[in-house]
Amino acid sequence: MTAGPRAVAFAALLALATTARGAWDIAALMRLLKEHPAGRARFSETKHVSILDRPLESSGELLFTPPDRLERRVTSPGAERMVADRDRLVVERGGRKQVLSLAEHPEVAVLVESIRGTLAGDREALERTYALRLEGDERAWRLFLAPKDPALTRLVKRVEIEGSGAQVRRVEVEQADGDSSLMQITPVSP
């Protein structure tokens, strides 16, 4: 029994639609993130620093205003506020305020851009600094960022960002000197 021309055409269209809808790649992830930008989330972070006996623990809140404003408010163990807005970073801690130009501090910029670019779904911004690789599917994905510039690889070895759908859930950074950080992120409903 052979299928008629209509059945073959219908099967081909169905396969094409399924492939287009089911395609999961970096472009699809960036589109999804751009369409559903994160707003507010809680975080807990553990940093392993080689010169310390114990890891550093902190927690607080992240706020993202597309396309390029990222605020990190630490509430525990002490109060600290960092705001990356366009090309500058403002750090407030212990009653002091420090303003840094991200262009003049690439070691800070590389980390800020990995998170900010991902939250904004800005593939172009990410690819200026990183080689990107994606694993998984829309329900559970992992984006690997490796610095392209040899000067940056002396600072950051890799950044891994995990998520589900349009939600970033975990950011892990491994520095070239062996220090590392792991941030767990929980979205806050609007």
By the 8 A CB rule, do 179 and 47 touch? Answer: yes
In a domain, 51, yes or no: yes
Cα separation, 18 vs 116, in Å, equals 32
Q: How much is the pLDDT for 107?
A: 83
User: Strand ranges (DSSP E) for the chain?
Assistant: 40-48, 56-65, 69-76, 80-85, 88-93, 96-101, 130-137, 140-147, 156-164, 167-175, 180-187
In a domain, 135, yes or no: yes
Average pLDDT by stretches of 10, the chain with 190 residues: 46 41 89 89 97 97 93 96 96 96 91 94 95 98 96 93 96 96 90
Q: What SS3 state is found at 155?
A: coil
Helix segments in the chain, DSSP class H: 5-22, 26-35, 106-120, 123-129, 150-153
In a domain, 8, yes or no: no
In a domain, 5, yes or no: no
In a domain, 18, yes or no: no
In a domain, 17, yes or no: no
Q: What SS3 state is found at 99?
A: strand
Q: How much is the pLDDT for 37?
A: 76
Q: How much is the pLDDT for 26?
A: 98
Burial class (CB in 10 A: 0-12, 13-18, 19+), 114: buried
Report which residue type is found at 155.
L
Reading the block at residue 22, the tokens are 């089911």
Cα separation, 24 vs 136, in Å, equals 8
CATH number at residue 150: 2.50.20.10
In a domain, 10, yes or no: no
Q: How much is the pLDDT for 106?
A: 86
Range of the domain at 126: 25-187
In a domain, 180, yes or no: yes
Total domains in the fold of the chain = 1
